[in-house]
Structure 1
Amino acid sequence: MGRAAEEEDATDELVTLLLDDLGPALQWYRDEVARTLGLSPGEVLCLEVCRRHGSMSSGRLGERLGLTRSAVAKMLRRLEEAGHVARLSSPDHEQEIEVEVRPHPARDAVLDAQRRALRRSLREMVGNQALHGRKHAVAATAVAGLATVVFGRARAMADATIERRLLADRRRAREAGSPTPWWAR
């Protein structure tokens, strides 16, 4: 089998593993963590992104989550009322809001327990598969690369959806005889 055929087989296997095995498993895991915390999966994802990347603007958070400014604002309002995050004025941009995760004993205890349990399971898998040293680096690089590719595809799909909606709105406005506003020209 030639190199091109091997690359195609490996690519097909990775797509299948990612979409059919890993994706649903991660979603189910996130759903169960959210249910345990009494939050939505999106809210848990928001907290995870903020925890991992530190405080960030609400606009950047929306970009990372694939949500509109309005959806992010509503989610942040709920999370702030429940004591999970703080919304602060940005020192750099007057109209931008910075989001910061706040300590929350009940949430943090649940998340810590879940991470410890997952860590134990993964440690066992690493030992069984001998994924240490160079093998660990290869596996970690592959997972990071997969995450980058998936995030890029999600962003491209979201951008295409926005573009289709804008074009459809313009078409409807033309068909209705409405003049195109200056900002949509």
Structure 2
Amino acid sequence: MDKQEEISAILGVHGDITSSNYLGLPSLIGRSKKRVFGFIKEIVCKHIDSWKPKQISRSGKTFLLKNVAQFLPAYCMTCFLLPKIMMQEIERQFNAYWWCSGSGGGKGVKWMSWEGMTSPKHRGGLGFRSMHGFNIALLGKHIWRCIQNPDLIVSRVLKTRYFPHGSILTASKGVNPSFIWSGI
């Protein structure tokens, strides 16, 4: 019996840990981040596809995208820096849905790029969130929390592992960083 099976037997954990989730997030992150986090894109696309057959006004589409679709991956984005390519693919789905002409299946004319749509309203945009920027902001909250609460267990673990002689603001990636620390 190898060490993994032995530890699994002691802890009473059964199954393949490489494909398991904990609290809805992947337990292990492999090389292919796009594959590991592909479930997020599937969930977002499934929601958008369910809205397509319905006749929804532009303001209704705006509401659905801003308040539902953009927040579906938020929980995962608080822990991990998601692949930029995947975020761009999701944003393309948002853009295509917003400009589509309704239940007729027509694609519609895209009068503005997604980058323009993410601009603030006072600058001529529509005020949507940039998914990558939102991801960075959510991860930035970890830095803020470590600065504000240095006695938290997570703050102490990160300090001990990644910046024992400095602050989190001057810390480098270090040698063999975890995927979570790389994102932060």
Q: Same fold by TM-score, threshold 0.5 exceeded?
A: no
- Which bracket does the TM-score occupy, shorter chain normalised? under 0.3
TM-score, reference length from structure 2: 0.26
Structure richer in helix, relative to its length: 1
Q: Which has the higher contact order (CA 8 A, sep 6+)?
A: 2
